[in-house]
Amino acid sequence: MDEQTRTELEAAAFRQLVSHLRERTDVQNLDLMNLAGFCRNCLSKWYRAAAEERSMSMTDEEAKEIVYGMPYSEWKEKYQK
């Protein structure tokens, strides 16, 4: 498999994971951390770190909005138990 195809497949898998987590608002970050060792906040930190590796400026809140699909404060208000 060439590098471009691998990158495209990884990106598609990431987008599907983020979409799934956006739909599963019943699953709390604490549940994810306890079972999987990572949560939505981890994904947003990894996303921001990847942007910074490419000299792109991104705040934690901007990265969280990409993962949560809305501002983190709004998600917490609607879904955090």
pTM metric for this prediction: 0.89
pLDDT of residue 58: 97
pLDDT of residue 78: 96
Distance CA 3, CA 20 (A): 26
CA distances in angstroms from 57 to 38, 50, 52, 54, 62, listed in the order given: 23, 10, 6, 9, 10
Task: Please list the rounded mean pLDDT of every run of 10 residues in the chain (81 residues).
Answer: 96 97 96 96 97 96 97 96 89
pLDDT of residue 62: 97
Tokens coding 63: 């990265």
Axis-axis angle for helices 60-68, 3-23 (nearest 10) = 80
Parse the chain into domains and list their residue ranges: 3-79
Distance CA 73, CA 81 (A): 13
For 3-79, which CATH class?
A: mainly alpha
